[in-house]
Every structure is written in structure tokens, then in C-alpha cells.
Amino acid sequence: MKKICVIGLGYVGLPLAVALSKHYSVVGFDINQERIQELQRGYDRTAEIDKSTLKTTALHVTHNVEEIEKQEIYIVTVPTPITKDNKPDLTPLEKACETLGKVIQKDSIIVFESTVYPGVTEDICGPLLAKTSGLTQGKDFFLGYSPERINPGDKVHTVDKITKVVAGETPSVTELLVEIYGTMNNNNIFQAASIKTAEAAKVIENAQRDINIAFINEAASIFNKVGVSIYDVLEAAKTKWNFLPFEPGLVGGHCIGVDPYYLAHLSKEIGHEPEVILSGRETNESMPAFIAERLAGIASENKKRLLILGLTFKENVPDLRNTKVVDLMDKLKKQGFDISVHDPYADPEEARKFYGLELLTSLDGLEPYDMILGAVPHKEYRALSQDQLQRLTTDQGCVADLKAMWRNLTLEGQRQYWSL
């Protein structure tokens, strides 16, 4: 039985490691000791794997480097964030390579799943592994790439049910990756032409979504200023067979709000100005300011008690990374709003640690607000009734709804409804 080690046990690595452990001997490694202890207790803070599965899986998890020696295949799933000036931050990837350089041996195969721009696997990771290990790339150890496609919170498109793209440094490595990933996902495999091709495919997947959402966000901004709802427009436009049904909103998270900058970086490195890619990013990054400006125009000068519903970067997940709700809050505070925040999925300690926020623990018994803002369409918020929304707002208050969760409800009194 092949011995596999998955490096990084977050949203990507943990589901992959659990799925592979049904067929192979798998060790999951993460430098976060607290994360390992939680997983050993059967608790996954990402909510991707349930407790019963964690308790029964054959996967062994560890934070000790000594326990990942003598594995045949290493799969790296560490995050690839951006810096404050929107440049690729390969630090987690480089540290993973330095760690692996101490444990890999002759004939080891190192597969990367982290999102990067074309060339990173072979031109940056490979040489770093060679330098740290003293081994020769392409002779003593071999590289592969299989881009991750995890969609946090998605219980349908799980890692064992989606197409896996694979590419190896040699035909034999590619063949091995086809076998390993195919065992896990019923042979739903696509062989890319090369590692660089697979890297490029991944980075354009999210860049394309970013650009499509940017177009809808720009359209929403235009229509909102003339009193037309983008959701009414989309409802009509979607009746055409080839219309792409993207929706407006805040674009954050660790994929769509990050990956385009990796492609833009490569573009600039080779002397090409990435106009479309960065234009889409600029449009999406401008949405918090646009929304704050519109809400400030609705609110009375001394009636700016605001309740924000939702903090995570997307619905029904606890992930707070790169959430644009925080950016929106900063813009709203500059407009004079006094803000409270509630989110049933966000970890209160993480909200406090990363953003200095004290989350409300319940929506019960609150004094009515001048305005409530549905920022993230968690299922709990979608289920709020007319009476519940009215109890949360003053008689002359406003219900603001970024994702049109409540557009079909009728509000009583002098309450007003606003959406994009």
C-alpha cells in the first residue's frame, strides 16, 4: 500500500486526506499543534468533516516532522495568500518545501495543490526542495501538480466527486497521480499537458469568476443609482438560454479575491499589463465603499445604529479569511454608523483575535436598530420572517439586503427596504 502524507490540514488538505485514507496509508501533517489536537478530539473548526467521520477515519494526524519521514508521496495543500500590496506571498509554500527537504528521500514524489501562477512548482518549489534536501530534482525526487477545487461549505462538489486535474514531471509520475486520485474519485481525472498548464488552469478558474462577478457588480452600481434592482434585472435576463447567472456582492475569501493577483503578477513579470484582470479586481474591491455610500444616503444623521448580519466571507461557512464585510464595516464607521455584528457561524474568538470584534451571541431581546444589513446569506438569515425583521428594526428603520434574501417580504410601518 502506498504511503501518502498530506501537508496542511485546512479546508483543502483535511477533506483530501480523509478521502485518500479510505484507500491508502495516509498521514496528515500541520504545524498548528492546536489544530491537530482539535482533530484528534474529533472537532473540525472548518466544518468540512463531521465528528463521526473524524473519529472513524484511518487518517493519522500529527504536528511532528519525525512522523512524516519515509512517506512515498507528499501532497502540499498549504495556503497561498497575498501581501498587503497584493503580491503573491509564497512564504507558506516555501516553508513547506523547507520542511519537506528534511524528510524526502530518493524517489519521493511531491505534489502541489496550492494555487500558484505557472512556473512556481518547477522553478521555485523544485529548486528549494533540492537545496534543502541535497537531492536532484527530476532524478532523485519528482514533482507533480493537481490544483485544489474545494468549495468551502459545499457538500455536493466534494473532493471525491469532482474532476481532478493532474500533471507530473514525467509520464510515470502522471500515471501514478492518475491512479492515486482516480482511486479516490472513481477515475474522474483529466491529464493536463504539463505542470505549468495545470497551474494556469487553476489560476484562471477563479480569475474568470472574479471578472464575471465584477461585471454584475458594475451593472448593479449603475442600475441602483437609477432605482432599478439588479435582482429584478437578473431575473429577466436569466430567461435567455446562454446568460451567465452571476450575482452581485462582496468578493472576498482565499480564492476569488486572491488568485487573480497571482495571474496579474505573472503577467507583469513577463511585460504584459493585465488590464481586464486588475479592472475586475478594482471593481470588486470598490463595492464596500459603494454600498457604504448608498446606506449613508438612506440613514438619518442621528439614526445610525446598525446591525450587520453575517461576517464570514461566504454563506454557511465559518471562514473569516479575507472577508470583505470587515472592509464594509470600516467604510460604514467612517460614515458615522454605530455597528453591532452577529454571525452564527463565525468563531467569536477568531473574530476578536483577527478583527477586534465582539460578536452578538443572539438576536433575541435586542433593542430595535435604525438599520439592519443582511451582508451574508446564511440559511438562518434567509429564514427570518417579516415579524422577526420588524422586531429588529425601528418603525422608521431600514432593512438593507445585499443578497436579496428578503425581497419578497412586505414590511409594515414606515420601514424601507434597500437592496442592490
Q: Three cell numbers at 52? A: 463521526
Domain match, 186 and 109 both? yes
Give yes or no: residues 185 and 235 share one domain: no
In this structure, the answer to whether residues 82 and 151 fall within a common structural domain is yes
Give catalytic residues, as residue numbers: 255
Identify whether residues 109 and 224 lie together within a single domain.
no
| Residue whose C-alpha cell reads 472513481 in the numeric block | 186
CA-CA-CA-CA torsion sign (370, 350, 381, 296):
positive
Instruction: Decide if 202 is inside a domain.
Output: no
Q: Which of 139, 163, 197 is the last residue of a domain?
A: 197
CATH number of 231's domain: 3.40.50.720
205 is a domain residue: no
Q: Kindly state whether residues 193 and 220 are assigned to the same domain.
A: no
- 221 and 335 share a domain? yes
Domain shared by 182 and 220, yes or no: no
Q: What is the pTM of this model?
A: 0.93
Q: Is 126 within the bounds of a domain?
A: yes
pLDDT in tens, the chain (420 residues): 789 999 999 999 999 999 999 999 999 999 999 999 999 999 999 989 999 999 999 999 999 999 999 899 999 999 999 999 999 999 999 999 999 999 999 999 999 999 999 999 999 999 999 999 999 999 999 999 999 998 888 788 999 899 999 999 999 999 999 999 999 999 999 999 999 999 999 999 999 999 999 999 999 999 999 999 999 999 999 999 999 999 999 998 888 989 999 999 999 999 999 999 999 999 999 999 999 999 999 988 778 999 999 999 999 999 999 999 999 999 999 999 999 999 999 999 999 999 999 999 999 999 999 999 999 999 999 999 999 999 999 999 999 999 999 999 999 989 999 999
Q: Which domain holds residue 113?
A: 3-197
Domain-located, residue 31:
yes
On whether residue 369 sits in a domain, the answer given is yes
How far apart are alpha carbons 319 and 347 in whole angstroms? 9
Cell numbers for 136, please give them. Answer: 536532484
Whether residues 152 and 106 share a domain: the answer is: yes
Domains identified in the chain, total number: 2
Identify whether residues 255 and 135 lie together within a single domain: no
The verdict on residue 330 lying in a domain is: yes
CA 386 to chain centre: 32
> Do 184 and 221 reside in the same domain of the chain?
no
Are residues 223 and 169 part of one domain?
A: no
Residue 182 lies in a domain: yes
Does 331 reside within a domain? Answer: yes
Residues 90 and 182 in one domain: yes
